[in-house]
Chains A and B, each alone.
Chain A
Amino acid sequence: MYIQSRWNEPLIFEISREGAIGHVLPALEKEVFSELEEALNEIPKEMRRKELNLPEVSELEVIRHFTRLSQINYGISLGTYPLGSCTMKYNPVINEKLASLESVQNVHPLQDQRTTQGSLELLYKLEKALCEITGMRKFSFIPAAGAHGEFLGCLMMKAYHKEHGEERTKVIVPDSAHGTNPASAEMAGLEVNVVKSDETGCVDIKELEKIATEETAGVMLTNPNTLGIFERNIEEIVHTIHDVGGLSYYDGANLNAIMGKVRPGDMGFDIVHLNVHKTFSTPHGGGGPGAGPVGVKRELQEFLPAPTVEYDSATNSHYLDYDRPKAIGKTKMFYGNFSVYVKTYAYILMMGAEGLRLAAEASVLGSNYLLSKLRDLKGVGVPFDSGKPRKHEFVLSLSKLAKDTGVRASDAAKRFLDYGVHAPITYFPLIIDEAFMVEPTESETRRELDNFAKIMSEIIDEAYNEPMKVLGAPYNTSVGRINEVKASHPKTLCLSWRMRKRGSPSA
């Protein structure tokens, strides 16, 4: 029986004790200290801070507080974390050791480039590896996350068409797409056209042909898609878009299924973003930082944002190239989330070509195996082409279960937590009723997959026999089921300790 820790831990503000300190700064040198008063006096009185309500706690209290919080937080190192399209695979520990080297952490991005050759060389080598894996020509490391990469990608689509004397305003996105695709297109000032999925869960080619016009800037596609189904008509899709002069954008969220097997570039995609915190094992850190490098084909490389990382064979040195007149504008400070890329590179080196392919195959095998254990369970449906193999993930529908028992996908998910296994994604993709989206990744062994199937089966039995039990879940987590409505209601909204003290927001 799994039981998560319970601490009833107060907020750090509530354990504050007057006069306690958690850290000491080195004393100021006498000559420097003597400047303090003058410096303070130079600041006009009305520009001085009057009060500061920060907590006062000792170092031990801080350590205990946050260590306790860590104990009420579930992570991959504790168990299965099968969130669909999130690729929660093992995060190799050595990566963290590398990323904490002095030569990673304490190098300033604006140092003279002669003193940052190591960082530049690493990025350059990583770029070559990413090009090989994706079949693209050139990468930018700047995007901080997948969605950020999508934003850049959309801006590059616009820049490309503008260069060709066209103002194209529309982007085609499937109805099964991640929410970031339409949101990113919209941010880039592009209008979103949704293309429906056909009865097999793939892009409806007939409808795509109707929607694709000379106003189409491009299509954004995940392949395998969010149903875990490979878009078998990918060649026709890309042709249709290219025929009207549009570009194809590959959302790399699901690349894990096809690494070393198929390359987005070979499928005809012009722009690709990768989620290195998914596919390439860098930890998600409870919400980031990740990184979303963007790769393009030759005809788009001049639009990649400045700076890019280049190599000069004459001097055998690497450098940042800012001389990119056609590049899209700046989208972030500096050159990207470098320490995350150190981990990415380490992972690729330790996997090698065979390891990456093996990861893809193991994830697909595990996912299909798990699906085979679940598909015949009572109340469970496998919408869209249920006989076809899935890739790294699959989506069940629990609508029959919900109709039969009143236990919805969200309830089943909560009950999973009681078994020490994280729940899958629920209610996505939107085209499936009561969606239950499972991605076990190559990190879960057959034993874990069997365990997952057993839990699912027990939850379903419980739903039919004792539905109230499931509806009241979870029981074994640090807190019971949470009132989420209250958290967003204007009257009870509380977004900081300060807000708690000062009351509800003004209308």
Chain B
Amino acid sequence: MKNKVFPHPFIANSTITDWKSMLRELRIKSVQDLYSDVPTKFLLKSKLNLAGSLSEFEAFEHISRILSRNRSCRDMSVFVGAGTWLHYIPAAVSEIVSRSEFLTSYTQYQPEASQGMLMALFEYQSLIAELLKMDVVNASMYDWATALGEAGRMSGRLTGRSEVVIPRFASPDRRATLQTYISPIGMKTVEVAQSRGDGQIVLENLKEKVSSDTAAVYIENPSYLGFLETEVTAVAEISHDAGAVFIVGVDPTSLGIIRPPGDYGADIVIGEGQPFGNPVNFGGPLLGILACKSNLKMIRAMPGRIIGMTTTVDEMQRAFVMSLQTREQHIRRREATSNICTNNALCALASAVCLSLLGKSGIRELSEHILAKTKYAIKKFSSIDGVDVPLSKAPHFKEFMIRFKRRQADDVLRELLEHKICGGKSLVPEFPELGESVLVCVTELHSKKQIDDYVETLDQLLR
């Protein structure tokens, strides 16, 4: 047993010879002497009660056995989205992000030795910038929800005001995260109504809700429930007339066909970048997008790392570095724009590779495929007796709601699972006013057959 742990394959500095020689040079008898300043009462008297140590083979067997109790989207049809979505990940993406030069590097404190990651992150920023039509994108946040939280705080810094207006049908999880982020600094959310017919923001209501206290107006487009917000220019105008910052949240896979927020007056754009090259991973890591207009005041109020392009001192070579670090915690400490440092850089790299592969035509194609599948699915579900598709007057992308007229959503979802269909996310706890509803998601991965099977099974169940 003793030999198994000492030396240990992961601890290069653990051969007896090395230890002996180092102890000799330090003129100490045992490594315990180096802990002589630790109060004796706190030193553990016995070893920790942990399983192991296992060999690599044993650990692999053990963990893969535990995980085999999961059912993945290969074992059944999964129609859930609501914040993270199943998309195809091209093999080239996995190949690049698993390269250990990227994987085992740290934040680029020595840019001259870390140009690869810096340039890739600059490219991530640039690719997202084109997609959103915004000039400035940071190097990543944790996810869409925390990006919203940070955007809310940013709007407070910019305006000195205290309210963020948020639509009724925005993602409740994102709204809750926003509240957690802004309430400690005395800010709060204000709800604006959305039409029960087509989901659109009620402009008259928005005009009533904005005031000289409004720091920001936030919309999601496509919305959490999948419908498209179409009167965006009017929303932007109302926001700006009130002196508020206009924040738009996006699923960027829609932007191959949908007008980008930079085109309709968004000051800050946030979103979820996971769909480009990152697996759902049981919910994390995700990839928070945060972008703003090319305005110095806004840029300086931004949270997170931003990579900038510059040159070498001799101006002979192009080079990349972390820019505007004086906003950040390691320099500004308590006056920093955020505490974020470690973000989701490797996920941003995955997105950069994925976006590069998809390119101009691939993104459009991806958006079109999802749009067509959504339309196809909505039509199919609408034809089931006992089901209606609320808000279907508005165009939908990727997600849509189905409502059961005579059955409870939870019961139906449970029965569907017996047919190896994970039918969506019940909306009953979040939006009781919408009835027994389920949020269904289709992406380019869902085949016509899978959709047809779902519809047929549901039809049978509801008979």
Contact = CB atoms under 8 A, between A and B. Distances in A.
B53 interface: yes
Interface in A347-385: 347-359, 361-366, 368-369, 372
Contact of B10 (A277, A351, A486, A495): A351
B119 A9 contact: yes
8 contacts: A74-B105, A98-B64, A119-B67, A286-B102, A362-B13, A414-B112, A487-B308, A500-B309
Contacts of A75: 100-105
Contact of A283 (B104, B107, B232, B296): B104
Interface stretch (B207-215, B362-370, B382-390): B362-370
Contact of B86 (A106, A182, A363): A106
Contacts of A190: 184
B361 interface: yes
A73 B314 CA distance: 21
Nearest to A30: B448
- Listed residue (A36, A234, A333, A505) with the most chain B CB atoms within 10 angstroms of its CB: A333
Interface in A35-88: 35-36, 38-40, 42-44, 46-50, 52-57, 59, 62-63, 65-78, 81, 83, 86, 88
Given A106-B86, A495-B323, A499-B294, A12 B314 contact: no
A132 interface: yes
Q: How large is the interface on B (under 10, 10 to 19, 20 to 34, 35 or more residues)?
A: 35 or more
Contacts of A43: 228, 230, 257-258, 395
A148 B150 CA distance: 12
Interface in A492-507: 492-500, 502, 504-507
Interface stretch (B158-166, B242-250, B283-291, B453-461): B283-291
Given A355-B11, A443-B12, A192 B334 contact: yes
Nearest to B83: A333
Interface string B58-97: 0110111011111111101010101110101010101110
Contact of A48 (B52, B106, B258, B299): B258
B401 interface: no
A255 B320 CA distance: 33
A97 interface: yes
Contacts of A107: 70-73, 280-282
A48 B74 contact: no
B135 A496 contact: yes
A279 to B, nearest CB: 13
Given A340-B285, A497-B129, A185 B311 contact: no
Contact of A358 (B11, B102, B295, B312): B11
Contacts of A281: 10
- Give 3 nearest A-B pairs by CB, closest first: A334-B283, A352-B53, A287-B345
Contacts of B408: none
A339 B98 CA distance: 14
Contacts of A32: 372-373, 376, 448
A482 B319 contact: yes
A261 B44 contact: yes
Interface string B105-122: 111111111111101111
Given A11-B126, A355-B52, 15 more contacts: A22-B356, A39-B375, A43-B258, A76-B105, A81-B105, A94-B59, A98-B63, A103-B68, A108-B282, A109-B280, A180-B330, A232-B38, A349-B59, A488-B308, A505-B299
Interface residues of A, number: 218
A338 B10 CA distance: 23
Interface in B10-46: 10-15, 18-19, 21-23, 25-26, 31, 33-39, 41-44
A147 B341 contact: yes
Contacts of A26: 444
A289 B259 contact: no
B413 interface: yes
A430 to B, nearest CB: 9
B53 A147 contact: no
A231 to B, nearest CB: 9
Nearest to A480: B312
Contact of A445 (B13, B74, B299, B334): B13
A29 B452 CA distance: 12
B349 interface: yes
Interface string A247-290: 00000000000101111001100000001010001011111111
A106 B72 contact: yes
B406 interface: no
Nearest to B96: A66
Interface string B404-433: 000000000110010000100100000000
A133 interface: yes
A354 B5 contact: yes
Interface in B310-347: 310-319, 321, 323-326, 328-336, 338-347
B80 A361 contact: no
A333 B136 contact: no
Contacts of A428: 330
B374 to A, nearest CB: 7
B267 interface: no
Contact of B137 (A83, A103, A495, A505): A495
A386 B6 CA distance: 30
B260 A49 contact: yes
A365 B23 contact: yes
B105 A286 contact: yes
Nearest to B355: A54
A346 B73 CA distance: 24
Given A83-B106, A262-B42, A98 B319 contact: no
Contacts of A467: none
A219 to B, nearest CB: 15
Interface stretch (A110-118, A206-214, A401-409, A454-462): A110-118
A147 B68 CA distance: 33
A21 interface: yes
B353 interface: yes
Contacts of A133: 48, 50
Interface string B200-237: 00000000000000000000000000001010110000
A286 to B, nearest CB: 4
B284 A474 contact: no
A479 B137 contact: no
Contacts of A205: none
A446 interface: yes
Chain A CB within 10 A, most for which of B38, B174, B255: B38
A106 B280 CA distance: 6
Contacts of B23: 365
A248 to B, nearest CB: 14
Contacts of A389: 33-37
A32 B375 CA distance: 8
B116 A356 contact: no
B184 A187 contact: yes
Nearest to B413: A112
B194 interface: no
B463 interface: no
B434 interface: no
B296 A507 contact: yes
B241 interface: no
B18 to A, nearest CB: 4
A300 interface: no
A438 interface: no
A201 B18 CA distance: 30
A71 B101 contact: yes
B135 A330 contact: no
B321 A480 contact: no
B86 to A, nearest CB: 7
Which of A83, A189, A484 has the most chain B CB atoms inside 10 A of its CB? A484
Choose among B115, B260, B338 the residue with the greatest number of A CB atoms under 10 Å from its CB.
Answer: B115
Contacts of A413: 110
Given A90-B12, A389-B37, A417-B112, A114 B342 contact: no
Select the residue from A74, A356, A481 with max chain B CB neighbours within 10 A. Answer: A74
B258 A47 contact: yes
B308 A105 contact: no
A106 B102 CA distance: 23
